[in-house]
Amino acid sequence: MKKVIIFFIFSLLIATGIRAQQAQYMVFDFIKVENDQIFDYIEFKDLMEKVYRQALNDNKIKGWDFWALQSGADQSAFQYIMITYYNDPVNMMNGMDESTMMDYTKIAYPHLNDAQVANLFQNALAIKDTPMRLYMREIVSTDDDFQMKPGVLASFDLMKANEGNFDQYENAEMQVFRPIHQKRIEQGMMGHWSFLRTALPLGSEAKSTHLTMNMYKDYMQFFNAQAYEDMDQTEEQQNAVNAGLNSRDQKWVYLATLENIVR
């Protein structure tokens, strides 16, 4: 009996460790580029793809995405979203300093000398501004096999839980909205959905407390999803949806197209 109990505890610890390893931590950089520097910025994002691919090979990150905004609250504030994925919150908060990124740039461009690499890197950084950065942890996501590749669409919905309704809102996303999105995925009207909590910035003045990512393989799937109405919802389910909607404020919705990806 003692052996069975020990085996059970050991199995539970392993399962807990696996779940911890699967947690995703992400840094969202909202990036602004002046109109006369757009073409220069294309070179910058291609440079960043090579740098982050070296970081992935070195197990510094789990992945990296570069998204171009199609619509949003104020596109003059930023036109791109860069997402870096990490295994744990410590790596997320530490990120990669300039020295580390320079080292990866040298690996990515072995034909350039140190001075040329430094000049390339500094010129690239000089043409962009990052007016907003969010540190986030994924709370829950749908079960799917969605393939991330250039051209897929995503809406990034910034939410702020109403005061006193933080837990109520999170429970609504996990218990009410996740099954709805899962059903849409199974019906071929969506690719992937995930729900994230903001780690930083914190406080009452923070613009958002949560974010949902809704992904679609193309515009056809996106517009079909917008037109979809679930006629089979019971009154109880509709009341649960309304309660969830009333527990948060949907601050902004950004529609974006994936341009570069490292996995």
pLDDT in tens, 5-59: 333 333 433 333 434 446 799 999 998 887 777 777 777 888 889 999 999 999 9
Task: Parse the chain into domains and list their residue ranges.
Answer: 23-132, 137-256
CA nearest neighbour of 154 among 31, 247, 38, 261 = 261
**Same CATH fold assignment for domains 23-132 and 137-256:** yes
pLDDT digit string, tens, across residues 169-203: 999 999 999 999 999 999 999 999 999 999 876 65
pLDDT digit string, tens, across residues 214-254: 999 999 999 888 877 665 777 787 788 888 888 888 887 88
pTM strictly above 0.75: yes
Structure tokens at 254: 């950004």
Instruction: List residues bridging with 83 in a β-sheet.
Output: 28, 65
User: Where is average pLDDT lowest: 70-84, 101-115, 149-163, 236-250?
Assistant: 70-84
Q: Average per-residue pLDDT in the chain?
A: 83
Tell me if 191 sits within 8 A of 144, measured CB to CB: yes
Q: Which is it for strands 210-216 and 248-262: parallel, antiparallel or unpaired?
A: unpaired
Query: Can you give the length of the chain in residues?
Result: 263
Classify 23-132 by CATH class.
alpha beta
Intra-chain end-to-end CA distance of the chain, in Å: 45
Per CATH, the number for 137-256 is 3.30.70.100
Structure tokens at 178: 């996740």
Which residues have a Cβ under 8 Å from the Cβ of 75 and sit 6 or more positions away?
A: 69
Q: Cα–Cα distance between 76 and 134 in angstroms, integer?
A: 19
Q: Helix, strand, coil shares of the chain as percentages rounded to 5?
A: 45, 30, 25
CA nearest neighbour of 183 among 114, 135, 231, 248 = 231
Structure tokens at 133: 């950065």
pLDDT digit string, tens, across residues 203-217: 555 678 999 999 999
